[in-house]
Structure 1
Amino acid sequence: MADFPTETTLHSFKGVDGAPMAWHGMGPEDGRPVILIHGLFSNAQTNWVRYGHAAKLAAKGRRVILPDLRAHGQSAKPHDPSGYSSDILADDNLALIDQLGFGAGDYDLGGYSLGGRTTARMLVRGARPGKAMLAGMGLEGLLDLGGRVSFFRKVLEGIGTHQKFSPEWMAEGFLRTTGGDAKALLLLLDNFPRIQRASLTELSLPILVLTGSEDQDNGSARALAAQLPNAGYVEVPGNHMSAVTLPEMGDAIANWF
């Protein structure tokens, strides 16, 4: 059994197009808010609650806000292309910030993998947290999405056919544990915008770049930190899949926020 709290409260909000979305809360309601965004094929519970990361922030008195991205968790999973558009994930979560009434500097913001990319897009599109975090993300994962999108498309289009123990088979296995919706996720893959290198150099707020020491899935985290004018850089043990399950990841997040 987990030796940390795993109970969260479930809340609803409206996506940028009015779609029904979900976020999960932990910690005191009057604590300083920190919004954490999960990765592709995952959900808030798997990414942040299961391994104790959210509990470590809540123990510091933080109000932890954990949205389920569109096509994930308990949020909307449209099967119509009209439910997706360029920057839909960033815009959904900007809508969440607006509906919660947070002003500039009133909250902190971070994400893992796709959540890190979404965080970066939110910053470029006007989000103004006090601090931010890009975890499980490298420079190439923001500038050029081709390889990763192709990999995940192959996973989703070939469900049930992947060679045992291949990277695709492993990714499909993870998708099954989170109850992912392949049709919705395929539509989402068409709407991952790139980020311009020049946009990164304009992000002057403190940003933690956090990575597993063996994680190169989204390119070089160290190179990403070098592009940001006010970055911290922390390595923890593990690769892209294992680092997020280890206590060192939660410790680093709690130390930053």
Structure 2
Amino acid sequence: MSKFKTWDGLELNYRVWDGEGRTVVLQHGVVADTNANWMSMGVVAALQAAGHRVVSLDARGHGRSEKPHDAARYSWSAMARDVRALYDELDLDDVAQVGYSMGGVISLLVAAADERVAKLAVGGIGSGVLDCGGVDRRVVEPEEIRLAMNGDGAGAPRAARQFRVLADAVRADLDAIRAVVTGLDDRPIGTLDDITVPALVLAGSDDPFAAEPERLAAALPDGRCVVVPGDHMLAVMNPGFKDALVDFVR
């Protein structure tokens, strides 16, 4: 594990697994971190076995990265700039950018702005990108996730409570997560026209956050969609998810 100071001085944690193939940069979902989203699910191991160099970033407010409690330190554009700052830090110039859920939206923003992205894979998101400008707010509102981080989270809707279960499992800083969700309470994506690279959309068949993933794939150039069994939390664990990702990156 390594640390670097990103564009606004926050110290972020990242991890690198060496390999000879194309570098794959992973960005996790909200509340999660490198271990919860990628290592424990076997995604890092699958990419390593295929010979790729793998890099994973703990987003600001998550994992081992710095966790300010000020919502002004969080925004979609800030997190996208963090990923691009990591490219600079590691001198990357030919990247397969991969993101899940929150990380999927971040990855779309990175791919739209940075020519170093050669391939793009996103999971845990679907038509919400087109209809809601990012995360599917028809499933859960940011205020509901904030509510789930208060007390024991029992008063929050079911869709939001699953994030509290994850937060407790990874021992997340609940004050930081509330700040993250407050800072990300907007619709960052107006168009996908600036994305020009081959793209893969991965979705769990029972994931409400990734509804109609084929619509998102159709809106991306050279986009294709793979649906695997699982919900929002477990689709990443499915062997079909990892196989499709490895095949696409190759």
Give TM-score, length-normalised by structure 1. 0.86
For 1:26-105, list aligned pairs within 5 A: 26-28=17-19, 30-85=20-75, 87-103=77-93
Please point out which of 218, 233, 236 is paired with 1:226.
218
**Following TM superposition, by how much is the alpha carbon of 1:126 offset from its aligned partner in structure 2, in angstroms?**
2.7
Residue pair 2:125, 2:203 contacting (<8 A) in 1 also: yes
1:212 corresponds to:
204
Measured on the aligned residues, the alpha-carbon RMSD in Å equals 2.1
Structure 1: how far apart are the matches of 2:14 and 2:230?
28
Q: Does residue 1:256 correspond to 2:248, yes or no?
A: yes
Structure 1: how far apart are the matches of 2:189 and 2:163?
28
2:116 corresponds to:
128
For 1:160-239, list aligned pairs within 5 A: 160-162=152-154, 166-192=158-184, 193-197=186-190, 199-239=191-231
Q: CA separation of 1:196/1:37 partners in 2, compared to 1, >3 Å: closer, same or farther? A: closer
Q: Deviations over 1:86-112 (max 9, x none)?
A: 511111111101111122xx1211111
1:139 corresponds to:
127
Structure 1: how far apart are the matches of 2:220 and 2:202?
13
**Partner letter of residue 121 of structure 2?**
M
Could you say what secondary structure the match of 2:69 adopts? coil
**Partner letter of residue 194 of structure 1?**
R
1:154 corresponds to:
147
Please point out which of 95, 99, 118 is paired with 1:107.
95
Q: Does residue 1:16 correspond to 2:7, yes or no?
A: yes
Q: Deviations over 1:39-93 (max 9, x none)?
A: 1110011111112111111111100001101110000101234533451111111
Residue pair 2:47, 2:246 contacting (<8 A) in 1 also: yes
Structure 2: how far apart are the matches of 1:99 and 1:179?
28
Could you say what secondary structure the match of 2:47 adopts? helix
Q: Does residue 1:25 correspond to 2:13, yes or no?
A: no
**Partner letter of residue 223 of structure 2?**
A
Structure 1: how far apart are the matches of 2:118 and 2:76?
26
Residue pair 1:94, 1:127 contacting (<8 A) in 2 also: no
Q: Unmatched 5+ residue regions in structure 1?
A: 1-9
**Following TM superposition, by how much is the alpha carbon of 1:127 offset from its aligned partner in structure 2, in angstroms?**
4.8
Number of matched residues? 243
**Partner letter of residue 75 of structure 1?**
S
Residue pair 1:88, 1:191 contacting (<8 A) in 2 also: no
1:4 corresponds to:
none
Could you say what secondary structure the match of 1:250 adopts? helix
Q: CA separation of 1:227/1:79 partners in 2, compared to 1, >3 Å: closer, same or farther? A: same
**Partner letter of residue 217 of structure 2?**
A
Structure 2: how far apart are the matches of 1:132 and 1:74?
25
Q: Deviations over 1:204-225 (max 9, x none)?
A: 2101011011212244312111
**Partner letter of residue 142 of structure 2?**
V
**Following TM superposition, by how much is the alpha carbon of 1:152 offset from its aligned partner in structure 2, in angstroms?**
1.4
Residue pair 1:54, 1:250 contacting (<8 A) in 2 also: no
Structure 2: how far apart are the matches of 1:196 and 1:47?
23
Q: Does residue 1:116 correspond to 2:109, yes or no?
A: no
Residue pair 2:214, 2:224 contacting (<8 A) in 1 also: no
Structure 1: how far apart are the matches of 2:229 and 2:203?
8
